[in-house]
Structure 1
């Protein structure tokens, strides 16, 4: 029997590439997005079913899961990929944008998992793969809200993995570093649209120099991340975290795990303070 995967945020980037990757490997794919009527790339493959799912609207979550089951008979894997990054100074970020960051990156994930768990329990198996980020393990300047949402996702996913293990429902986390998708561009546009408080200008300039120093590095492609997601879904291992990124990203992850806490914090401070 063909396996079936439901992917949120499949209109672009990692989500769309993962939909193609799983379909190419013979899976049935439920590719969900907020505006399926705009999709023109995925609708020519018979084993890809496109439907609406907006993680901020619970009724669309329930409907997408039900439609996917009606189409393919069952769902084996859920990939929570929908997300975005709120970049910039916390003080200048309106409250509604703070809430949206958590609505999409945390509460939307929780709502989607809650909605699919009865199906997984009934079939006595299932896999949940949550797409996190290196920002869920270490922080950088200007991403306090994004990091907060991904730290929350990491803690939720790890604890949930214990809770669901005896039900034969797996939970895994994929942690990409920077990728070549349009994620950063979207986040940057939101940053540029925020009001300015001049007291922060010196810091913003230094932090901007830090990010500029990273911009020329080789980034992970959406295809490479999709391959890791496929590995997580199919390797049969009880591994919680899967990491993919460039050399700088891998070093940052290693530093976060190996250095004493204050030494790590001081290292991050030095990475941007040299531009002050």
Structure 2
């Protein structure tokens, strides 16, 4: 029986690449996005429909439309998200709320909408797209870090709750992929912040930290991340976390395999912005 995957945030980046990869491998795909555009050409097994994670009615409609078209949903990939960039003090409360509305509460609402369907079938799998920023903190992205740390904790806890029902939960952790629109939106969000002048030297130093991180990136693409998402959906294991790009593996290894003192010494040396 052909399986069906519902993916959020399919207009570009990981979501678009994952939608095409699943479709290429014979899956039915419910490719959702805030503003629907063509996805993967003219695949008969791809349904493109509107889903804005900040609008619960659109979530309900997309899930219902997917089930009506394909009979059932087997996998949900919670991919929609974006990152705020800037110091916390310069970010409005409204922007903080929006960061969590998209990256955390929207993801939860998609799960809340699909859980009754999964429970009725006593099967199903959630794949929640996190980030290296869900594992280690970085300067200038405290709110994005907070949202992804929340996603990771929620996903792990939820995996224990749902295992008895035959429903799985997995986390995919990508690092930097240059051709997505993620950095473009982060830059736009930063331009809307109002930063107190006391932070100017810090921001200059933080920019140098991020330049160094960008230079250290490999050549990972959205397609590479999509392959890891597909692996998580099809490998038949109960593995919880999948690191999707090579660039973040050293930092993740340091976080997970070092003592707290060793890890913090390493990160403070590497990540604390130096005065210009």
TM range (shorter): over 0.9
Gaps of 5+ in 1: none
Change (3 A) 1:123 1:215: same
1:209/1:272 contact within 8 Å kept: no
Residue 270 (1) aligns with residue 269 (2): yes
Q: How large is the RMSD of aligned CA atoms in angstroms?
A: 1.2
Deviates more, 1:55-64 or 1:213-222: 213-222
2:31/2:39 contact within 8 Å kept: no
Partner of 1:260: 259
Alignment of 1:54-203 (within 5 A): 54-180=52-178, 181-203=180-202
2:30/2:47 contact within 8 Å kept: yes
Partners in 1 of 2:261 and 2:89 — Cα distance?
25
Q: Which runs of 4 or more aligned residues in structure 1 lie more than 4 Å from their structure 2 counterparts after TM superposition?
A: none
Task: Note the C-alpha offset of 1:192.
Answer: 2.5
Partner of 1:229: 229
Task: Note the C-alpha offset of 1:262.
Answer: 3.1
What SS does the aligned partner of 1:5 have?
A: strand
Partners in 2 of 1:164 and 1:274 — Cα distance?
42
What SS does the aligned partner of 1:231 have?
A: helix
1:206/1:272 contact within 8 Å kept: no
Partner of 1:212: 211
Provide Cα deviations, 1:52-107, integer angstroms capped at 9, x if missing partner: 10111111111100000000011000000000001111001011100000001000
Change (3 A) 1:152 1:274: closer
Alignment of 1:22-61 (within 5 A): 22-36=22-36, 39-42=37-40, 44-61=42-59
2:125/2:169 contact within 8 Å kept: yes
1:172/1:241 contact within 8 Å kept: yes
Provide Cα deviations, 1:141-197, integer angstroms capped at 9, x if missing partner: 001000000000000000000000010000000001111212112112211332231
2:156/2:240 contact within 8 Å kept: yes
Task: Note the C-alpha offset of 1:246.
Answer: 2.3
Task: Note the C-alpha offset of 1:265.
Answer: 2.1
